[in-house]
Every structure is written in C-alpha cells, then in structure tokens.
Amino acid sequence: MGEPSLSAAFVAVIRRDLLLAMRRKSDVLTTLFFFVIVVSLFPLGIGPEMAMLRKIAPGILWVAALLATMLALPRLFAADYADGTLEQMALSAVPLGVLVTGKIVAHWLLSGLPLALLAPVLGLQFDLATDALGVLALALLIGTPVLSLIGAIGAALTLGVRGGGVLVSLLVLPLYVPVLIFGAGAVEADLSGLGATAHLSLLAAFLALAAFFGPWATTVALRIALE
Amino acid sequence: MLEASNLECVRGEKSLFRGLSFRLESATCLMVQGTNGSGKTSLLRMLCGLSQPAHGEIRWNGEPIGKLAEDYRGELLYCGHAGAVKDDLTALENARLSATLAGEPVDEQAARAALRQLGLKGREDLPARVLSAGQKRRVALTRLLLETRKLWVLDEPLTALDKAAVANLGGVIDAHLAGGGIAVLTSHQELPLSGRVDHLRLD
C-alpha cells in the first residue's frame, strides 16, 4: 500500500462514532437528561432564595457536567474492544494516536458540547445574569474537552477490568478537580465583578496540556489493554 | 519475508510453545494447526505485534517488527476471531469504514463490488445485526479484497462459512499468494489451496 490517509481516517472515526450514536440515541440522551435533571433538582429542593441560588449555581452546574461526562466514559472504548475494532485500529497503518484523538473528539461532540450549549438555559433557573451565563458556556466549552481527554485515559486504563465503570470514576474524578475549581471559579469571578479572563486562560492552559498528553497516554494504555 | 526465531509463548505459568522458528518467503502460506489452547491465536497475535513473545524475535524483511511499527502495519492485514463488524452499521458502511480506518479509503463502487464477490449481493444495505454469522464473517473478510497488504494473518477465517464461501475464500487466498503475498492462517477445516503451503503443528 502507499502512504496511509491520516486525515481521511481521522474524519472517518469521528463520523463513525457520531453515526453509531445516532443509530443508538438512548446513550447520548441519557447523559443530557441526567445533566438537566440533576441541575433542575437543586432550585426545586432549595426553594426561591435567589441570593443562595446565584451563589451555588456555578458549582452545581460544573459538578453536574463532570458527572454527566463520566456517565458516557466507560462506553468510550468498550464496544470497540469487544467487537475487535480496537485491535484493527491498533494494527492500522494510521497511527493509533490519530484514531484515538478522533474518538475523543467524537466523545466531546456527543457529551461536552451539548452540555455547554444546554448550561446557559439551565442557568436561568438559578437567576444568573446574562453575562454570567455567557462566561459559564465559554468556561464549559474550554473545560469539557479537558474532561473528555482526561476521561479517555481512565477509560483506556480500566478497559476489560471488571467493575471498570466504578473504577473509572475513582480514577478520573480527582483529576477533574482543577478543571472544576477554575471552571466554577470563572463564573464566580464574573459574578463578583473581578472578570473571568484569568480563570479562562488557566482553563485554556489545562486544555493545551491535556490535548498534548491525553491522546498519547490513552494510546499507551490501550496498547497495554490489548496485550 | 517473515522470519520468526526461537519464539516462546508463556501464559500464566505454563509455556505453550518454545523454540519455535520458521521463515516464510513470498508466495507461501503457513497453515498453523494444533488442539484448542495450543497457542495458535497467541502465535498469530505475536506475529501482528499485538503481544510480545516471552523470548525470541520476529523480523519482517530482516528488521524487527517492533522497530518497523507503522511501516510493518502497512504491510499487514489481521483478521481475528472478532470480526470488527458493527451491528448498527450496514454491510457497506462496515466494509468502507474498516478500509478507511486501516488507512486505505475506498469508494462505494469498490466496496459494493467486494461485497458482491463474497456473495453478499442484495445484503449491502442491511444492518449487520440482521445478517447471519456466516454473512457477518463475509463482511469482515471483504477487507482482504479492499486492502492491498503483503502479509495476511487470518485466525480461523473459515468459521461459520458454507462450502461455497470456503471455496471462494480459497480462491482469494490463492490469488494473493500468486501475486507474491504471504498468508498465515489457522483452521480446523480443510482449505484447498493450489500454492505452496507449509504446515506448522503446535502441540
């Protein structure tokens, strides 16, 4: 064969994962409904105390987003592992890292992106100001790819392990803490009038770091899982 | 040229085989035989580089396969027990996607022709979920027709195939060997091949 077509393979992985998700919508919708319901329970439980709601809103939206992205993580590689597709990816002339990055992008498009778009709507229940809602969406847009990138490492490490779903949470949630602190911090900073630029810049720095190391670490973990 | 020298495979505390050496030139088929659990699949996975031998080395054209990495994978086609066929995708989508993921995108025409050649005419647009085990195996085997690789490593390719499909596959492998290819395969069934076939028994 000649030179393998990297970009075609990268796009094909993303399109394939989106197509598979469309054929089995329940998996994607579970994540979104979970996010919507968990976030909506808090205003109902606490009652119409606006000051309190405004104070807790960033934290609650971010924690719910973390847990919702976690929900889809165990499935990230499990199906491909079970039906032999992952073996084929590992043996492809296209570097496994390229294909894995495609899968992570697809995971973000199916979990992180819809959450970031939904969050401002849900934020209305907490009486957040318009510009705070904008900062929230922006922080989630920068932060959720980090969640997908770090989550993929956990999903790869626990592949084929019994009870991997629980293990992946224990492994990955502590690593999500910095994203949670600066993500929720961005909205709080904006609410208190300090401006969110510093927090958002730090989030973007996390994203750059995770985008560099995440696919590499995931690839190494997958090769170990396949042995 | 594929060369294995002094391979040893250890599973748990048991050594499945040791001191295994062979050398495959172009246009040769190696038929690996042995009882269940004798290490056939382990050997094939080692040849692909999916697992490391406990001892020994595998070389492709004189270079260790670990060093060649993607260059070796570009010459290799592995068909394992699991067919890598997605139930939710159609036969055609499966065929095209597996070729693209392997790094050799094909157009729809070529994929349809390959599916027809393996006797899946009229089934191209059905989801793999509704296909029989033998038909799914045929979808997995379309990769043999769509990808241009020198070395084929096939683990039980005849499972669930009917007589006509076995003869058909025999013809495909013969054509590959005639074109200077190399094939390593395991099977418990007879597969009539006209090219040069070496036998290896693992017991």
- The confidence score (pLDDT) of residue A63 equals 93
Query: What share of chain B in percent tops pLDDT 70?
Result: 100
Summarised one tens digit per residue, pLDDT across range B7-52 is 888 888 888 888 888 888 888 888 888 888 888 888 888 888 888 8
The answer for B4, left when phi > 0, alpha when psi is -120 to 50, beta otherwise, is: beta
Chain A, nearest residue to B86 by Cα:
A83
pLDDT confidence of residue A2: 60
| Nearest residue of A to residue B100, measured between CA atoms | A9
Taking residues B92-97, report their average pLDDT: 88
CB atoms within 10 A of CB A127: 16
* Domain boundaries along the sequence of chain A: 6-226
Q: Residue A91's closest CA among B174, B196, B202, B80?
A: B80
pLDDT for the residue A79: 86
User: Is A1 in contact with B147 (Cβ distance < 8 A)?
Assistant: yes
Average pLDDT over residues A126-147: 90
Residue closest to B84 by CA, chosen among A99, A104, A151, A217: A99
B151 and B184 Cβ atoms separated by less than 8 Å: yes
Q: Do A226 and B88 touch (CB under 8 A)?
A: no
Contact B134, B160 (CB under 8 A): yes
B104–A95: do the CB atoms touch at under 8 Å?
no
Number of neighbours of residue A206 by Cβ within 10 angstroms: 20
Separation of alpha carbons B134 and B91, rounded Å? 13
Is the CB of B74 less than 8 angstroms away from the CB of A13?
no
In angstroms, rounded to a whole number, what is the distance separating the alpha carbons of residues B8 and B43? 9
Q: Cβ separation of A1 and B75 shorter than 8 Å?
A: yes
Calculated CA dihedral for residues A196, A199, A203, A208, nearest 10 degrees:
100
The residue that leads in pLDDT, B193 or A175, is A175
Determine the average pLDDT of the residues in A88-101.
89
pLDDT score of B72: 83
Selected residue of A1, A11, A100, A224 to mutate for chain B interface (largest B Cβ count, 10 A): A1
Q: Which of residues 45-104 of A touch B (CB under 8 A)?
A: 82-85, 87-95, 99
B49, B88, B100 member nearest A24 (Cβ): B88
Please give the average per-residue pLDDT across B105-109, as a whole number.
Answer: 85
- B70·A95 Cβ contact <8 A: yes
Query: Residues B140-187: pLDDT tens digits?
Result: 888 888 888 888 888 888 888 888 888 888 888 888 888 888 888 888
Give residue-wise pLDDT tens across range A29-65. Answer: 999 999 999 999 988 888 888 888 888 888 999 999 9
pLDDT category, A214, cuts 50, 70, 90?
Answer: very high
Q: Which residues pair with B64 in a beta bridge?
A: B59
Q: Do the beta carbons of residue A68 and residue A115 sit within 8 Å?
A: yes
CB contact under 8 A, B148 and A95: no
Indicate yes or no: CB of A19 within 8 angstroms of CB of B89: yes
pLDDT of B188 above 70: yes
Min Cα–Cα distance to chain B from A169, Å: 27
- How many residues does the structure list for chain A? 227
With bands split at pLDDT 50, 70 and 90, how would you rate the model's confidence at A1? Answer: low
Q: Which residue has the tokens 């991997």?
A: A164
Say if residue B117's pLDDT is above 90.
Answer: no
pLDDT at B115 over 80: yes
- Closest alpha carbon within chain B to A4: B103
The conformation of residue B142, written as its DSSP 8-state character, comes to: H
Question: What is the DSSP track for B13-69?
Answer: TEEEEEEEEEEE-TTEEEEEEE-TTSSHHHHHHHHHTSS--SEEEEEETTEEHHHHT
Q: How far apart are CA A71 and CA A5, in angstroms?
A: 33
Q: Beta strand pairing status for B76-79 and B63-64?
A: unpaired
Of A13, A16, A91, the CB nearest to B76: A91
CA of B75: which chain A residue's CA is closest? A1
The CB-based long-range contact list for B170-175 (8 Å cut-off, 24+ gap) reads B172/B141, B172/B144, B172/B145, B173/B29, B173/B144
Which pLDDT belongs to residue A101? Answer: 94
Q: How high is the pLDDT of residue B76?
A: 87
Domains of chain B: 1-75+149-203 (3.40.50.300), 85-147 (no CATH)
* Chain A: closest CA distance from residue B103 (Å): 4
B48:A91 CB<8 A: yes
User: How far apart are alpha carbons B42 and B197 in whole angstroms?
Assistant: 21
The residues, ordered by sequence, that sit 6+ positions from A39 with a Cβ below 8 Å of its Cβ are: A60, A61, A64, A122, A125
Q: Which helix (H) or strand (E) holds A63?
A: helix A50-72
pLDDT at residue A219 tops 90: yes
Q: A169 is written with which tokens?
A: 């949470």
Q: Answer whether A160's CB lies under 8 Å from A146's CB.
A: no
Give the list of residues 6+ apart from residue A127 with CB closer than 8 angstroms, or none.
A50, A53, A54, A57
Mean pLDDT of chain A: 89
Instruction: Read off the pLDDT of each residue in A155-183 and give the average, rounded to a whole number.
Output: 87
Region A146-170 average pLDDT: 87
- Comparing CB atoms, the residue among A5, A20, A226 nearest residue B103 is A5
Which residue, chain included where needed, has tokens 């329940």?
Answer: A26
**What integer pLDDT is reported at residue A14 of this predicted model?**
93
Helix (H) or strand (E) holding B2: strand B2-11
pTM confidence score: 0.90
Find the residue in A nearest to B102 (Cα): A92
**Residue B151's beta-bridge partner residues?**
B76, B182
**CB pair distance less than 8 Å for B102 and A92:** yes
pLDDT grade for A159, boundaries at 50, 70 and 90: confident
Cβ atoms of B29 and B193 within 8 Å: the answer is yes
3-state secondary structure A151-165: HHHHHHHCCCCCCHH
Answer yes or no: is pLDDT of B128 > 70. Answer: yes
Share of chain B above pLDDT 90, in %: 0
Chain B interface residues facing chain A, Cβ-Cβ under 8 Å?
48-52, 70, 73-76, 78, 80-86, 88-89, 93, 97-98, 100-105, 147-149
